[in-house]
Chain A
């Protein structure tokens, strides 16, 4: 199966930069060597981007690394050809491959924060490759670095390289890593999930950088991701992979418009927004009310400033915002981990003590939490039985057969079979772990569950299944969720009410229908417009908008006065917005809006 759309023309073949034929890779597991990539072919020309897409375990990263002639520890390439510009990488010696890597082939990893050495300045790290390969002298390399930073629109390109990795934002760091990959002018770049850990607004700037580089410099690229909407903006062709097998290969347009395989359709479907319709609940009862909470860490600034949120029983309230907006801090205040500096939290009508240690067992029982990373939320030494069983005996005093029966009942509720009871977390997949975390929360028979980014570490299909499960449980058990997320698609599919947080202040709050429809608060509009859509050309269109020009590539900054969003806001009124607190408006009952402009003005 070739990725070449133009099979008949022989001339085209000579332009092929990378060709992989019948690639088979084995990985070492407890059962011995097992095939993890089962015969994959691909072809790549200069100036082309090939998207590799699939869930975790699909073999995407393994194929990406194999394109550089590399196999990780515990992996081995067993069959197939990897030909890069006429050089057979499988028969090449380590030395020959080393010369190619870094100069003609380079790699951009998922987490720039982990890939940069925190003990060296950015420009020195940039220069390392070219100097080691003997391509440039130190001063030439640094000059090249500054030129690249300039062309990538990084702020203060002449001096930013003198900073340390922790002194630049996540998005900038990721772009600097792209620049580093470009240092020797490579012919092929492998991008391994470079935007997965980033906010939507930051993701756009990185995508823009990648697209420019590939188009302007006629580089070929392999882009690995699990997010179809992201790769749709970049790739010319897509390869859908599952368990190391090729499911479907086609041009991006074809895959998006007319997917041939069932699995591809499932991937597309999981990424498509399914709006939840809010059912009417007669006589809603306020379960949790947070009143003018101000909180911060140590002697630091106020991370939350006078935040008020109320949550009705049986509803889902979503808290959205970029990283640094104070979402997780709000969760810590509610759970009692961080006593607020001022403000009150009420559960039904009871005033909750600020600190965890002062809350009673009954108060703790009513609020449970589910975390972002199920890997670290489960004790690796505890069996599922103990994980779910502990709240049962701790809060409800269950033991013996009764407890066992209830554990099995809970496992059924989270759609896992009885045999999971004796497993350790290591023996569960990411989605299964998250389900066990949900069961642990349910075991306490809580009224409110705080979900902190519960789906952001999961693959799209798995994430959708978890969201469906949460909705089902809400229906059955009348649960109330406080749902923290930076992903607006997720929020749209689960929330009844949305709180938009920016730099520790509520920018807008109201029923989902009011928040996600015009008139928009300028920040909500920026967030909404930054969510990638499943169609080609979305990136270019979005970058041309005023919101994107003003708002992306900026960090969230906490300000003492004025509106914190002012410097990123395309609607900002000079002098006023940066100095005066935005007035709180209530255009409709339950809809709160903090802006100098009235909603009527913004709807134009």
Chain B
């Protein structure tokens, strides 16, 4: 434990800032019902009320408390983005490593499937699937996870290819090790660094993608609070010089920046690069 603290304290300022932001976001997301002054679905006042003691950030187009919805939004959007990214990573890196380790026709089939998926613009693909199957949560998660898994597959396959040709992998093969061992013990530990970096980046993209879908009305469905749809619902206020609709957008941006700070630092540490000079 003290070791982890030591590592955190030795981090550069940008990473510390990133970790702090991520920590605050996670706390807000976990304890949302306790922090938020009102429920996310409660209609309290008139629509578009200004900032006041009663409603610190005003109310939205239906008269719901903006601050409470921001807090619940953190929970909904981050939770969704995290689970999608995790699924995409498990799926993408596993298939990527299998393709690299086995090669031959397995690699061909997997790679071509991914090529086909990648050739369709992802937003259009998502719109298509969601309008056919509806916008229920499992479909939303499944669609975005599969789309993102293709990018992870490409990275995992490329990096795993470099590892799979190493003599130590050949040693494991000659020993008679099964595919699972080769992937888990020989390949995975050597490609963790790029995968980790990609995870941070992917998380941000997924986040933005969900927000974009929500903005288009195909993401998280009302009345559930979510930052993307909050921007859309209140966008008219911008015309009246009110910055309230930009707050959820700002929350997204801040988290994205913070995540990247942390990931950059982790990547730097795991790559073993030394600062010279």
Binding site for B on A (CB under 8 A): 28, 73-74, 335-337, 356, 359, 361, 364, 367-369, 371, 373, 376-382, 390-391, 394-395, 440, 444
Cα A337 to Cα B276 in complex, Å, equals 43
Residues of B within 8 A of A337 (CB): 170, 173-174
A371 touches B167 (CB 8 A): yes
Residues of A within 8 A of B189 (CB): 379, 381-382
Cα A251 to Cα B173 in complex, Å, equals 51
A377 touches B167 (CB 8 A): yes
A373 touches B190 (CB 8 A): no
A364 touches B175 (CB 8 A): yes
B186 touches A74 (CB 8 A): no
Complex partner residue of A376 from B167, B175, B177, B185, CB under 8 angstroms: B167
Known: A28-B276, A73-B276, A381-B190. A364 touches B174 (CB 8 A): yes
Cα A394 to Cα B186 in complex, Å, equals 15
In the assembled complex, the CB of A397 is this many whole angstroms from the nearest CB of chain B, namely 14
B274 contacts partner chain A, Cβ-Cβ < 8 Å: yes
Residues of B within 8 A of A361 (CB): 176
B175 touches A379 (CB 8 A): no
In the assembled complex, the CB of A29 is this many whole angstroms from the nearest CB of chain B, namely 9
Residues of B within 8 A of A380 (CB): 190
Complex partner residue of B174 from A335, A373, A376, A378, CB under 8 angstroms: A335
Cα A234 to Cα B258 in complex, Å, equals 60
Cα A336 to Cα B175 in complex, Å, equals 11
In the assembled complex, the CB of A250 is this many whole angstroms from the nearest CB of chain B, namely 37
B7 contacts partner chain A, Cβ-Cβ < 8 Å: no
Sample of 16 A–B contacts (CB below 8 Å): A73-B276, A335-B174, A337-B170, A337-B173, A359-B176, A368-B174, A369-B174, A371-B167, A378-B168, A379-B185, A381-B190, A382-B168, A382-B185, A394-B176, A395-B175, A440-B171
Cα A359 to Cα B177 in complex, Å, equals 12
Known: A28-B274, A379-B190. A356 touches B177 (CB 8 A): no
Cα A379 to Cα B171 in complex, Å, equals 10
In the assembled complex, the CB of B166 is this many whole angstroms from the nearest CB of chain A, namely 5
Known: A379-B190, A380-B190. A364 touches B167 (CB 8 A): no
Cα A367 to Cα B274 in complex, Å, equals 41
Residues of B within 8 A of A371 (CB): 167, 171
Identify which of residues 165-195 in chain B touch chain A, using a CB-to-CB cut-off of 8 Å: 166-168, 170-171, 173-177, 185-186, 189-190
Interface size class of B (residues with CB under 8 A): 10 to 19
A74 touches B174 (CB 8 A): no
Residues of B within 8 A of A381 (CB): 189-190
Residues of A within 8 A of B274 (CB): 28, 74
Residues of A within 8 A of B276 (CB): 28, 73-74
* CB-CB nearest in chain B for A360: B176
Cα A111 to Cα B166 in complex, Å, equals 20
Most-contacted residue by chain A among B170, B175, B177, B189 (CB, 10 A): B175
Residues of B within 8 A of A369 (CB): 171, 174
A377 touches B168 (CB 8 A): yes
Residues of A within 8 A of B175 (CB): 364, 390-391, 394-395, 444
Cα A371 to Cα B190 in complex, Å, equals 20
Residues of A within 8 A of B170 (CB): 337
Residues of B within 8 A of A391 (CB): 175
In the assembled complex, the CB of B277 is this many whole angstroms from the nearest CB of chain A, namely 9
Cα A542 to Cα B186 in complex, Å, equals 48
B168 touches A379 (CB 8 A): yes
In the assembled complex, the CB of B36 is this many whole angstroms from the nearest CB of chain A, namely 44
Residues of B within 8 A of A373 (CB): 167
Besides A376-B167, A377-B171, 6 other CB < 8 A contacts?
A337-B174, A373-B167, A379-B168, A382-B168, A382-B185, A444-B175
B168 touches A376 (CB 8 A): yes
In the assembled complex, the CB of A590 is this many whole angstroms from the nearest CB of chain B, namely 30
Contact with A along B146-178 (1 / 0, CB 8 A): 000000000000000000001110110111110
Identify which of residues 32-78 in chain B touch chain A, using a CB-to-CB cut-off of 8 Å: none
Cα A404 to Cα B189 in complex, Å, equals 23
* CB-CB nearest in chain A for B190: A381
Cα A218 to Cα B176 in complex, Å, equals 59
Closest 9 CB pairs of A and B: A381-B189, A377-B167, A379-B168, A364-B176, A371-B167, A376-B167, A376-B166, A74-B276, A361-B176
B174 touches A356 (CB 8 A): yes
Residues of B within 8 A of A335 (CB): 174
* CB-CB nearest in chain A for B192: A381
* CB-CB nearest in chain B for A363: B176
Cα A336 to Cα B274 in complex, Å, equals 41
Cα A361 to Cα B167 in complex, Å, equals 20
Cα A108 to Cα B185 in complex, Å, equals 40
Cα A367 to Cα B185 in complex, Å, equals 22
B177 touches A394 (CB 8 A): yes
A356 touches B173 (CB 8 A): yes
In the assembled complex, the CB of B209 is this many whole angstroms from the nearest CB of chain A, namely 33
In the assembled complex, the CB of B274 is this many whole angstroms from the nearest CB of chain A, namely 7
Residues of A within 8 A of B185 (CB): 379, 382
Cα A364 to Cα B186 in complex, Å, equals 19
In the assembled complex, the CB of B178 is this many whole angstroms from the nearest CB of chain A, namely 10
B174 touches A379 (CB 8 A): no
Residues of B within 8 A of A376 (CB): 166-168
Cα A378 to Cα B171 in complex, Å, equals 9
In the assembled complex, the CB of B28 is this many whole angstroms from the nearest CB of chain A, namely 36
Residues of B within 8 A of A390 (CB): 175
Most-contacted residue by chain A among B166, B174, B190, B276 (CB, 10 A): B174
* CB-CB nearest in chain A for B171: A377
Cα A368 to Cα B276 in complex, Å, equals 42
Cα A399 to Cα B175 in complex, Å, equals 18
In the assembled complex, the CB of A25 is this many whole angstroms from the nearest CB of chain B, namely 15
Cα A28 to Cα B174 in complex, Å, equals 39
Cα A444 to Cα B175 in complex, Å, equals 9
Cα A569 to Cα B174 in complex, Å, equals 39
Cα A376 to Cα B171 in complex, Å, equals 10
Cα A373 to Cα B276 in complex, Å, equals 28
In the assembled complex, the CB of B109 is this many whole angstroms from the nearest CB of chain A, namely 19
Residues of A within 8 A of B177 (CB): 394
Identify which of residues 245-277 in chain B touch chain A, using a CB-to-CB cut-off of 8 Å: 274, 276
Residues of B within 8 A of A336 (CB): 174
In the assembled complex, the CB of B19 is this many whole angstroms from the nearest CB of chain A, namely 25
